[in-house]
Amino acid sequence: METLKKLVPSDLNASKWVRMILGILVLALLVWRLVDVILIQRLYGPDTWARFAITGLIIGGMYALIAIGYTLVYGILLMINFAHGEVMMLGSFAGYFVFELLAFIPSPGPENPEQVLLNAFPVLSILVAFLVGMLVSALAGYFLEKIAYRPLRKAPRLVPLISAIGASIFLQNAAMLLFGPQRRTYLNPTLLDRGLGLEIPIAGNNVLVPYTGIFSFVLSILLMLGLYLLVQKTKLGRSMRAVAEDKGAAALMGINVDAVISRTFIISGILAGAAGVMWGVHNGLLNHYVGYIPGMKAFTAAVMGGIGNIPGAMLGGMTLGILESLGPAMLGIDFQLKDVIAFTILILVLIFRPSGLLGERLSEEKV
Amino acid sequence: MKTNQMLEVKDLHVYYGAIHALKGISFHLNEGEIVALIGTNGAGKSTTLNSVSGLLTPQPGQLFFGGKEITNTPPQDVVKMGIVQVPEGRKIFARMTVRENLEMGAYVFNDRDHIEADVQHAFEMFPRLRERQKQLGGTLSGGEQQMLAMARALMTRPRLLLMDEPSMGLAPILVEQVFEIIQEINSKGTTVLLVEQNAQMALSIADRAYVLETGKIVLEGTGQELLTNPQVKEAYLGG
Ligand SMILES: Nc1ncnc2c1ncn2[C@@H]1O[C@H](COP(=O)(O)OP(=O)(O)O)[C@@H](O)[C@H]1O
Ligand SMILES: [Mg+2]
């Protein structure tokens, strides 16, 4: 014990210096790139910047919804649910098949014999696709916890983590076997055609904001608001907070801890499922791999906001969406590198502020 | 005597992995009593309470509440039956307000008006909590946290109150207050099982008491008997 106490402070000091020098280097690089691109080269006009920012907000909303799932589960079980991206993927497939099915069935109405259900009742179709997507992801989350995590509740912390990675690989491959490896195109109702949108004039140019984006953004905000109310104002939310704080004390108050954990996975699944259908509706492409990158990004967002912290996940998701959308342009690098930006941010956050933007200094204490 | 037995623990064994923490203890509480369970650190007092609360599994052993077997009942159902525990170290919810903590105590109920009446009743019993109802639990002082933990437990409308070392970490004047409140709760009809290292205080308010040593009950008697017992005096009351 004594030697430990003596060792730790000097070690901390050393890493403090390394961090500071690294920090100054990173900052200098950033400032130089920003000045170069924005003031000297002037590559993009304000309309282009606005377009990047809007895209970032839309994708950020989806990251936020997925990130909440990571944070809720971490808050309660202190584990990273690495299969959460796959939960989203399953919801995305569910929404896809609902649209395909509705596009296959002719509308019963006499006026328009050519029309299919999908376009005869677009609003209803969208509603059904989201509800089914959310339901499928909720079930996926529920069974994931029951099968892959619950039996390992008392095992060392690394064990459920490995199980999560295994579940992620299993679900990806199961989806590939079931649905095939090909890329599919999400078939939206014409009401949410991906080519249509609002034209907003900015600096003399029109910026097209797609309806799918507006719809996704509004829906993600509404879902986050709903979640906030659920957690803060309802009995279920209070029980979730109680279990997150102290499982033993919660059980002594008559809370069924296992049931609350199940419900947490169901709620995380619902939000991920909604994000999955949004992802398909807005981006258009889908295969068994679709959840992986958004899942990793949302994990980054959750860490960035302070893992375990719900507003942090929301803020982190939005921030990450905007940063990775504006980042390549700001730094004057290739747009293909936006994924690199996200994961560079993850590394920087872990080095400089492991507790995240809104995180309390709890992480070390809890670990 | 069997007729008014509230809690009966029969030959209770509990293991933590290879550690044999309780080695077959038996004791009982009669309705309306305050019974103290005293013993040094590590004797198995908290293990006993957690077994009654359903957090730990007897292996083997039997528990009866009001004549009905409750062995292996999950903790949430134990609370619904009317057994509540104020755990060691209080374990209030630090990131919830005082009022939310109280409402957590009423988790098993749904009758809003009745719950609100209980909250008001708790505020009458603990006026400090009314003043601090919007404050986060974590910002309360140790004494206030103990009051909150007791008030929260009472929100479950218990018939049997299990108290784990309520005096721990409190100044003597606060300890006295806490014990007065325990007596007050008891006088209103709640049976109390009081676990303490502070044997002097516990024995002075207990109707009966048991002494636990490394997982075994080694002595039992009325509170007065044990207070004057030479063995107890030497081991627990500082000679
Ligand atoms: N979670 C646990 N894991 C392993 N051993 C435990 C655990 N809790 C208690 N023990 C052991 O069980 C014995 C009884 O502990 P406990 O019931 O907490 O005693 P008391 O409350 O009387 O201080 C002690 O030897 C303690 O070390
Ligand atoms: Mg103890």
A365 sits in the region (left: phi over 0; alpha: psi -120 to 50; else beta) called alpha
- Measured CA to CA, the distance from residue A260 to residue A244 in angstroms comes to 10
3-state secondary structure of A187: coil
Structural tokens at position A208: 């097209």
H runs (alpha helix) in chain B: 45-52, 75-81, 98-105, 112-125, 127-131, 142-154, 172-187, 199-205, 223-228, 230-236
Residue A245 C-alpha, separation from nearest chain B C-alpha, in angstroms:
7
pLDDT band at A29 (very low <50, low <70, confident <90, very high): confident
Q: B138 versus A329: which is more confidently predicted?
A: B138
Asked whether residue A281 is domain-assigned, the answer is: yes
Q: Does B96 touch chain A (CB under 8 A)?
A: yes
- The tens digit of pLDDT for each residue in B191-230 reads 999 999 989 889 999 999 999 999 999 999 998 899 898 8
Residue of chain B whose Cα is closest to the Cα of A237: B104
* The total number of residues written for chain A in this structure: 367
pLDDT at position A365 = 41
What residues does B226 pair with on adjacent strands?
none
Instruction: Please say whether the beta carbons of A317 and A66 come within 8 A.
Output: yes
Q: What is the CATH number of the domain that holds A182?
A: 1.10.3470
Shortest CB distance from A242 goes to which of B53, B80, B104? B104
User: How far from B162 is each of A21, B190, B226, CA to CA, in Å?
Assistant: 56, 10, 21
Structural tokens at position B111: 């009758």
pLDDT band at A107 (very low <50, low <70, confident <90, very high): confident
Identify the helix (H) or strand (E) that includes residue A181. Answer: none
A9 has a pLDDT exceeding 60: no
What residues does B194 pair with on adjacent strands?
B36, B163
The fraction of chain A above a pLDDT of 70, given in percent, is 92
Cα A260 to averaged position of ligand 2 atoms, centre (Å): 27
- Measured CA to CA, the distance from residue A139 to residue A145 in angstroms comes to 10
- Measured CA to CA, the distance from residue A90 to residue A237 in angstroms comes to 26
- Measured CA to CA, the distance from residue A364 to residue A257 in angstroms comes to 24
3-state secondary structure of A341: helix
pLDDT band at A1 (very low <50, low <70, confident <90, very high): very low
Closest CA to A122 of A95, A96, A103, A94: A103
Residue of chain B whose Cα is closest to the Cα of A242: B93
Asked whether residue A5 is domain-assigned, the answer is: no
Residues of A in contact with B79 (CB under 8 A): 252-254
Asked whether residue A102 is domain-assigned, the answer is: yes
Neighbours of B128 (CB within 10 A): 16
Instruction: Please say whether the beta carbons of A85 and A73 come within 8 A.
Output: no
Give the domain extent around A289. Answer: 44-352
What residues does A89 pair with on adjacent strands?
none
Q: What is the mean pLDDT of residues A68-72?
A: 97
Residue holding tokens 């200098």?
A28
Atom 24 in ligand 1: which residue has the minimum CA distance?
B42
- Measured CA to CA, the distance from residue A281 to residue A273 in angstroms comes to 12
Identify the helix (H) or strand (E) that includes residue B62. Answer: strand B62-65
Return the CATH number of B5-90+160-236, one of 3.40.50.2300, 2.60.40.10, 3.40.50.300, 3.30.930.10.
3.40.50.300
DSSP classification of residue A146 = I
- The tens digit of pLDDT for each residue in B40-67 reads 999 999 999 999 999 999 989 999 999 8
pLDDT band at A265 (very low <50, low <70, confident <90, very high): very high
Q: What is the pTM of this model?
A: 0.89
Residue of chain A whose Cα is closest to the Cα of B52: A252
Exposed/middle/buried for residue A216 (C-beta within 10 Å: 0-12, 13-18, 19+): buried
Give helix A84-104 / helix A257-283 axis angle, nearest 10°: 50
A339 has a pLDDT exceeding 70: yes
pLDDT at position A13 = 64
Our answer on whether the CB atom of B14 is closer than 6 Å to any ligand 1 atom is no
Our answer on whether the CB atom of B21 is closer than 6 Å to any ligand 1 atom is yes
Closest CA to A311 of A320, A324, A302: A302
Asked whether residue A155 is domain-assigned, the answer is: yes
The fraction of chain A above a pLDDT of 90, given in percent, is 63
Amino acid at B137: G
Asked whether residue A327 is domain-assigned, the answer is: yes
Domain boundary assignment for chain B: 5-90+160-236
Task: Give the residue from B104, B118, B139, B154 with the most A CB atoms within 10 Å of its CB, the best one to mutate.
Answer: B104
Q: What is the mean pLDDT of residues A96-110?
A: 86
Instruction: Please say whether the beta carbons of A60 and A319 come within 8 A.
Output: yes
- The tens digit of pLDDT for each residue in A177-221 reads 999 999 999 999 989 999 899 998 888 888 899 999 999 999 999
A23 has a pLDDT exceeding 80: yes
The dihedrals phi and psi of A4, each to the nearest 5 degrees, come to: -55, -50
Q: Does the distance separating the beta carbons of B93 and A249 come in below 8 Å?
A: yes
Asked whether residue A23 is domain-assigned, the answer is: no
- Measured CA to CA, the distance from residue B178 to residue A207 in angstroms comes to 68
Identify the helix (H) or strand (E) that includes residue B22. Answer: strand B19-30
- The tens digit of pLDDT for each residue in B89-126 reads 999 999 999 999 999 999 999 999 999 999 999 999 99
Closest CA to A186 of A282, A114, A116: A282
pLDDT band at A128 (very low <50, low <70, confident <90, very high): very high
Reported ipTM: the value is 0.92
pLDDT at position A7 = 45
Q: A109 versus A269: which is more confidently predicted?
A: A269
Q: What angle do CA A56, A62, A63 make, to 5 degrees?
A: 80
Give Dmax over CA atoms of chain A in angstroms: 86
Number of domains observed in the structure of chain A: 1
B1 has a pLDDT exceeding 60: no
Residue partners of A51: CB distance under 8 A and separation at least 6:
A207, A208
Residue holding tokens 């104020």?
B86
Q: Which of residues 181-210 of A touch B (CB under 8 A)?
A: none
Amino acid at A295: G
Q: What is the mean pLDDT of residues B159-181?
A: 93
Asked whether residue A70 is domain-assigned, the answer is: yes
User: How far from A331 is each of A29, A34, A60, A86, A335, CA to CA, in Å?
Assistant: 9, 6, 19, 32, 10
Q: What is the mean pLDDT of residues B80-97?
A: 95
H runs (alpha helix) in chain A: 2-34, 46-77, 84-104, 117-120, 122-144, 158-179, 211-233, 235-245, 247-252, 257-283, 292-305, 310-331, 338-352, 363-366
pLDDT band at A16 (very low <50, low <70, confident <90, very high): confident
- Measured CA to CA, the distance from residue A152 to residue A285 in angstroms comes to 35
A6 has a pLDDT exceeding 60: no
Closest CA to B201 of B229, B148, B165: B165
Q: Does the distance separating the beta carbons of A253 and B152 come in below 8 Å?
A: yes
Q: Does the distance separating the beta carbons of A253 and B103 come in below 8 Å?
A: no
